[in-house]
Amino acid sequence: MNILVTGGSGFIGSHLVERLLSEGHKVVTLDDMSTGRMHYLSQVMRNKNHKFVQDSVTNRKAVDKLAKQCDVIYHLAAVLGVKNTVDNPLKVIEGNIDGTRAILEAAYKYNTKVVFSSTSEVYGKNPNMPFKETGDRVLGAPSVHRWCYATAKALDEHMCFAYADKGLPVTVIRFFNTYGPRQNSSQYGGVVSRFIKAALTGEPIEVYGDGTQTRCFTFVDDCVDGTMKAMDPKANGLAFNLGTDRPISVLELANKIRELAGSASPIVRKSYEEAYGPGYEDMPARMPDLTRSKEILGYNPSVSLEEGLMKTIDWFRRNMPN
């Protein structure tokens, strides 16, 4: 098939592009390179079935042209990161909503299947776990910028389901704490990559809050496997959780990474206020219900946390500057 991947030079997107090409698809990567890295695609840039286009998903003319030529669009391009939500909420809101609207409008015009990447953030502070795809959303006040990313992604989902009602084949996937090689270790990146970078450089491993908050971390290969399966027509019109159901506290994660990396880095506590400014809220726990994903998609994450962390640590060792 002919497939368009937006955000294809990013962390998850680049792994998805490689997998699609390995299975014989023709792939176009669309990325504005605001956070993507060209060297993430170094293994596929000379592949005759791959084409790279540097442009924005908000460029309707470019998106329309590409959608016309594709059978499936994987829409992964997004403005994300906790620091972005706190420091630049307008960038988060406009970047996510405008881009998704452009993709859906073009896809509907040509009846092109869309797989939209959403986030576990949409569940907000819902205390009922594990999170089911039909569960309620519980968010803080709109004056608290921390919730703007969850709100923007939820509105994106509303648009997806509205187009599904009009006949567009569209599937929503919600990622739960994906980690692995190529994850950004900057202030906008995930906790795993941030901990690994600190452990390998001997810097303090900073745990925000008291460290008792729990998450279910998903290795990128399992994430991509579920994303690929969402192409199936039987997934149309539905949302799916993609993650693991094996929680670990953030403090335990820090200790595990320090041990696996053979690091002597101290583990230090840092308040949310110090990290993100006043008023930041975090959830004490987050865990997906995988029943729907397993039954309909045949999704079965298989990479253990230890195995995934070692692969990620090895990648950082090979790719970090001295």
- List pLDDT tens digits, range 163-199: 999 999 999 999 999 999 999 855 445 899 999 999 9
Q: What mean pLDDT comes out for the span 117-133?
A: 95
Query: What average pLDDT does this structure show over 34-40?
Result: 90
Band of residue 84 on the pLDDT scale cut at 50, 70, 90: low
Rounded Cα–Cα distance for residues 5 and 57 (Å): 11
Alpha helices in 132-244 (DSSP H): 148-165, 191-201, 220-229
What kind and span of H or E run contains 21? helix 11-22
What's the confidence (pLDDT) of residue 272?
Answer: 82
Q: Which residues pair with 115 in a beta bridge?
A: 74, 171
Q: What residues have CB less than 8 Å from 92, skipping those under 6 apart?
A: 79, 80, 84, 85, 148, 149, 152
Of the candidates 196, 204, 158, 162, the one whose C-alpha atom is nearest the C-alpha of residue 317 is: 196
Q: What is the DSSP string of 232-294?
A: SGGGTT-EEEES-S--EEHHHHHHHHHHHTT--PPEEEE-HHHHH-TT----SB--B--HHII
Record the tokens describing residue 173, joined without a space. 């996937």
167: tokens are: 């006949």
d(CA 243, CA 140): 24
Centre a 10 Å sphere on the Cβ of residue 155 and count the other Cβ atoms it contains.
16
d(CA 62, CA 116): 18
Residues 263, 286: Cα–Cα separation, whole Å:
28
CB 219 within 8 A of CB 301: yes
- Give CA–CA dist 177/164, Å, rounded: 27
Average pLDDT over residues 58-76: 96
Alpha-carbon span 223 to 171, nearest angstrom: 15
d(CA 79, CA 34): 9
The tens digit of pLDDT for each residue in 299-318 reads 999 999 999 999 999 999 99
Tokens of 276: 């993100």
What's the pTM value of the predicted model, to 2 decimals? 0.94
The answer, yes or no, to whether the previous bond of 89 is cis (omega within 30 of 0) is no
> Hey, is 223 helix, strand or coil?
helix
Q: Which CATH number fits domain 2-177+220-243+289-301: 3.40.50.720, 3.40.800.10, 3.40.50.620, 3.10.350.10?
A: 3.40.50.720
Query: What pLDDT, on a 0 to 100 scale, did the predictor assign at position 85?
Result: 65
**pLDDT tens-digit series, residues 221-250:** 999 999 999 999 999 999 999 999 999 999
The residues assigned a catalytic role are: 149
